[in-house]
Amino acid sequence: MTTKPRPVTTRDLVTKKARHEKIIALTCYDALFARLLDAAGVDVLLVGDSVHQVLGGAPSTLGASLEQMIYHARMVRQGTAHALLVVDMPFLSYQVSIEDAIRNCGRVLKETGAEAVKLEGGSAMAPTVAALVARGIPVMGHLGLTPQSVHALGGYRVQGREEASAARLRDDAAALEEAGAFALVLELVPSALALEISGSLTIPTIGIGAGPGCDGQVLVLPDMLGLNEGFEPKFLKHFAHLADAVRDAVRQYGTEVRDGTYPGPEHSFD
């Protein structure tokens, strides 16, 4: 008799760090892929606001809406039985006031069945994180390249290369841990700095473009599957080349429809 694995919790991620076990995370936007990723043993499914870019074709994540994130999180929930489900809070859904953050983050958990939310920002967001945690809303932080601040940062570039910005990242990480965040995403941070920050915290770090010293890794699913052609940052590895497979399959379908070999007798009803 096969025993189903129990759902991953926020405490499990902290335990994994203590045991030096790497955390596996991927973005996910629908039930179909959620079932596949969950069965493959992914620890964390992140319903990222990257959906607005990757599936919506937008130039940034800034236009993602709360309703959009709730819609996709509900779909992912339907396909997830094991992984921890975390939802990105979109731009201006949590920055305006702590009251707004509590209301909107609580709505996300209530309406989607997700276990946690993710917020971008460091020390300035620590009071908000503390207020959410105090009300039973688990929070994952996000430091380094924070896509919702892309214009303020001057574009998508590595953060923390200068000592002043590295010091800010160290302080921000400590502030978020103190506020009660259960994990941090470190995006586009020099490897040595990410390793240092990871070693200074008791909560796990999940890197994307932050080197191997983080406690886990996350990638955007269509990117790592080779579906998002033309996007090839240094940190990205294609673990499949599905764009080619999709084109080949569709061309074959078209050929068989045109020449009459599909549908055949085996695909037809008496």
| Residues acting as catalytic residues | 187
Burial class (CB in 10 A: 0-12, 13-18, 19+), 251: exposed
How far are the Cα atoms of 29, 100, 144, 193 from residue 114, in angstroms, in the given order? 13, 19, 25, 31
Strand partners, 47: 87
Length of the chain: 270
Cis peptide before 5 (omega within 30 of 0): no
Side chain identity at residue 258, one-letter code:
R
Residue 4 makes CB contacts below 8 A (sequence gap 6+) with 81, 82
Which helix H or strand E contains 139, and what residues bound it? strand 139-144
> Which residue from 4, 220, 9, 5 is spatially nearest to 114, judged by alpha carbons?
9
Residue 167 CA to residue 171 CA, distance in Å, equals: 6
